[in-house]
Amino acid sequence: PVQMMMQMLQNIQGNVQNIQGKTDKIENIEKNIENIEKNMEDIGKRVENIEKKTENIEKRVENIEKKTEETDGKVENLQQMIQQYDTRIKKIEDEDVQRDKMEEMDTRLTEVERDKSGLGWEMDKSEFYLRFQNVQEEKG
């Protein structure tokens, strides 16, 4: 009977050690679960940060698109202004060409009038000499 009791005691001790090992494993599992929960919280926070950053990026992209549209409008206005200035410059250049032509014609007319007056003077001079010659021939 004592031997049986010893055997039972040894069995009980073995069972207690077995239970203790399983308890340790359960504690380890619980710690692992806690770590997993903490990791999940961290992952959740990271996901929130990523979502916030994504929202910020989307807002920035929208702002860039708006600024691009505004810039496009400004570029169109500049192009229109450039076309208007080109038109004005062309008109001024045409007016300059016309003015140059008018000045050239004025110069030519002045030369022609000068030539006419010079020719008139030459004719008067020739007429005078002819009269003088006629007078001398009549006297002679």
State the pLDDT at residue 119. Answer: 66
Q: What does pTM read for this prediction? A: 0.47
pLDDT for the residue 34: 97
Show the tokens assigned to 15: 């069972």
**For range 7-12, the mean pLDDT:** 93
- Between 90 and 4, where is the model more confident? 90
Residues 6+ apart with CB under 8 A from 86: none
Q: How far is CA 74 from CA 65, 66, 71, 117, in A?
A: 14, 12, 5, 63
DSSP string, 46-108: HHHHHHHHHHHHHHHHHHHHHHHHHHHHHHHHHHHHHHHHHHHHHHHHHHHHHHHHHHHHHHH
The pLDDT mean for the chain works out to 90
List the single range of 69-73, 95-99, 106-110, 123-127 with lowest mean pLDDT.
123-127
**Amino acid 70: pLDDT:** 96
129: pLDDT strictly greater than 80: no
Give the model's confidence band at 118: pLDDT under 50 very low, under 70 low, under 90 confident, else very high. low
With a cut of 70, say whether residue 75 has pLDDT above it. Answer: yes
CA distance 21 to 16: 9
Dist. CA 61–CA 67, nearest whole Å: 10
Per residue in 13-70, pLDDT (tens digit) is 999 999 999 999 999 999 999 999 999 999 999 999 999 999 999 999 999 999 999 9
Distance, CA of 101 to CA of 40 (rounded, Å) = 89
